[in-house]
Structure 1
Amino acid sequence: MLYDLSIAWSPATAPDRLLQTLSLASSLGYATVALNHSLELPFPANPTSPFPPLPVSSSASSAGRRLPHVLHRATLPLTDPAASNYRLPALANVYDILAIRPLTEKAFQNACLTLDVPIISLDLTLHFPFYFRPKPCMAAVARGVRFEICYAQLLAADARGRANFIANVTSLVRATRGRGFIVSSEAKTALSLRGPSDVVNLLSVWGLASERGLEGFRSIPRSVVMNEGIKRNGFRGVINILEVAPRKDDGGAKVASSDAETKAKNQKRKNGDDDNGEPLSRRQAKKMKLAARSARSEKKQAS
């Protein structure tokens, strides 16, 4: 199953244009896609989902076209982490997936080390005023944060942007040792979509191994979708038992209660107590041992 967790969307996107993009994504083999809404600063105090209830939001066919399963995602530009962290829980309740796009070195390090976000998405056509150092990048991978490579940025960039894209991808692959990458399109039109094999072959030229590139289309984005769904539908992965079904007959309950009483009595006797919880004297304990020994001998003779 292939995933594309970033297809560009805005309120100005025409439904027919979006339907064409989703149809081509399905024909290329993508079973699940995410419509990406890039937010702008400042974030709204009470965010609501801007996605309209389009027929393309389901995995069923629409207008005779086969469509993938559609998720809703938001990408947040981040410059000052302290000014935006408190809005993340409110946004997480509205969107299926959240991604951070850090614009400064401080925001990038905070996203790698402390922020509770599943994806760090960068505009790799830009020249960043900082280096991708192995220590924060590997810390992000160890925490389960994934770096996103959007190949449509390369297709829409000029010569300088393409050079920056190649240099940034190479630096990220070196800093993370090729681990923890999600490969997405960030396609604004259907013409920007490409097949996964073509993208994997291109990334392998820049140092990302082919098996790592395939994981970026399959297992890694799948784990992000599953983990984000568990966060919203459960509490720390704990399953709560809401109700226990009662037994149909009382006989089983009586047998269970009698078994429990017998076990309790045996445990008391092992601890040197009688049935009332009082400690046994030495004489009583000796009598009980003799009675148990005689009972065993009688049983042997009877057999």
Structure 2
Amino acid sequence: MLYDLNIAWSPSTSAAELERTLRFSAALGYNVVALNHTITPPVPPQVANPLPKFPPSPAGPASSSSTTPDQTPNKQPKLPTVLHRATLVLNDPSAYHRLPQLGSSYDVVAVRPTTEREFQGACLNLNLTDASLISLDLAQRFPFHFRPKPCMAAVNRGLRFEVCYAQGLSSSVPGDAANDARARAAFIGNVVELVRATRGRGIVISSGARGALALRAPADVVNLLALWGLGSEKGMEGLGVLPRGVVVNEGIKRSGFRGVVDIVGTAEREKGEREDKAVGKGKAAAGEAAKEKQEKGVDNNDKNGNGENKRKIGEEEDGGGGGPEGDDNKPMSKRQAKKMKAAIRKAQNAEAKTT
């Protein structure tokens, strides 16, 4: 599955234009997209989600904040799975306390640091239960550099950096060629520096598109970022594996225990499987009973055999068996035969001495 976790939305975005963008994104091959609402401090005490709701996609999981309005015509491309995302601009340390409130209203929460102090704090101290995505406006020049130590520390902690390729395609001021050139130059330089600082790890690729014309196919995006140092394999991970991990982790934080343990409902066994399991248990119980019965029989036979041996030994000592003192019908034991032969030999020797 392919993900685009940043489709820009503002209150001025029309419903028709937004729907056209979503359908074109699905036509390009993206399965899950996120509508991004950028919030600047101060955050109100009561956070409301103004993003529009769309019907869940039948081919993918539904978002936690989606509903089912009237169905669209079948001739049009299907809508992808739509998530709701909030990006909080960090220019004040007090804004961190509002992140849990955003998490209860949105599916994905990201932060956008604007100063070196806030960038260092997001990389080293940002609580993963509040946000797991660092989104930077790479089309502007930063007064600081992306150093490997804080960037790799953030990646090792589970944070992800977002690169929005639409920032390098056009500036925020339409028709301004000078701004476009400066924005592209700043974007390319920042992307190269970020890839070098993170060694290409933990980079999520999104569009940041404000309309359908800013969207690009996944293969084009991977080839474009490969020119700036991000390998093809890392590029495909940035469109699939890494954003999926962000979405799954954000879902676990809202439904699991302390954002770590999630209880998933297990499927029930079918009727045939349950019957086979019951039959197997019955056979196993019958086999164990037969085994115990056999062991008891062996013990009884051993006891009876020991008694018979004792009786035979007693009879032999008492002179039972074949011979003049015993019963003629009973066979003579070997012990009695040896005694008899020894007595006969002794008698013959005594006669020989007397003669």
TM-score, length basis structure 2: 0.66
1:174 paired with 2:196, answer yes
* SS of the residue 2:239 aligns to: coil
Letter in 1 for 2:31: A
Out of 228, 249, 252, the residue aligned to residue 230 of structure 1 is: 252
- State the partner residue of 2:221: 199
User: Whole-Å Cα distance in 1 between the matches of residues 264 and 107 of structure 2?
Assistant: 26
- What is the Cα deviation at residue 300 of structure 1? 7.8
Q: Deviations over 1:74-120 (max 9, x none)?
A: 11110122x11111111110000001110000100111111122110
- What is the Cα deviation at residue 298 of structure 1? 5.7
Out of 160, 163, 166, the residue aligned to residue 185 of structure 2 is: 163
Q: What's the Cα RMSD here?
A: 2.1
- State the partner residue of 2:99: 88
Letter in 1 for 2:235: G
Is the 8 Å Cα contact of residues 80 and 106 (structure 1) preserved in structure 2? no
Matches within 5 A, 1:1-303: 1-53=1-53, 56-59=54-57, 62-64=72-74, 65=76, 66-81=78-93, 83-116=94-127, 117-157=131-171, 158-236=180-258, 237-239=260-262, 301-302=302-303
- What is the Cα deviation at residue 143 of structure 1? 0.8
Q: Deviations over 1:226-271 (max 9, x none)?
A: 11111111113335699xxxxxxxxxxxxxxxxxxxxxxxxxxxxx
User: Whole-Å Cα distance in 1 between the matches of residues 189 and 134 of structure 2?
Assistant: 18
Q: Deviations over 1:203-229 (max 9, x none)?
A: 111110000000000010011101111
**Relative to structure 1, is the Cα distance of residues 52 and 241 closer, same or farther in structure 2, using a 3 angstrom cutoff?**
closer
User: Whole-Å Cα distance in 1 between the matches of residues 256 and 72 of structure 2?
Assistant: 32
Is the 8 Å Cα contact of residues 71 and 96 (structure 1) preserved in structure 2? yes
Letter in 2 for 1:213: G
Q: Which runs of 5+ in 1 are unaligned?
A: 243-294
Is the 8 Å Cα contact of residues 252 and 262 (structure 2) preserved in structure 1? no
Q: Which runs of 5+ in 2 are unaligned?
A: 59-70, 172-179, 266-295, 306-355
- State the partner residue of 2:283: none
Is the 8 Å Cα contact of residues 136 and 163 (structure 2) preserved in structure 1? yes
User: Whole-Å Cα distance in 2 between the matches of residues 119 and 300 of structure 1?
Assistant: 76
* SS of the residue 2:109 aligns to: strand
Give identity over the alignment, percent. Answer: 56
- What is the Cα deviation at residue 185 of structure 1? 0.3
Letter in 2 for 1:8: A
Bigger-Rg structure (1/2): 2
Is the 8 Å Cα contact of residues 101 and 122 (structure 1) preserved in structure 2? yes
TM-score, length basis structure 1: 0.78
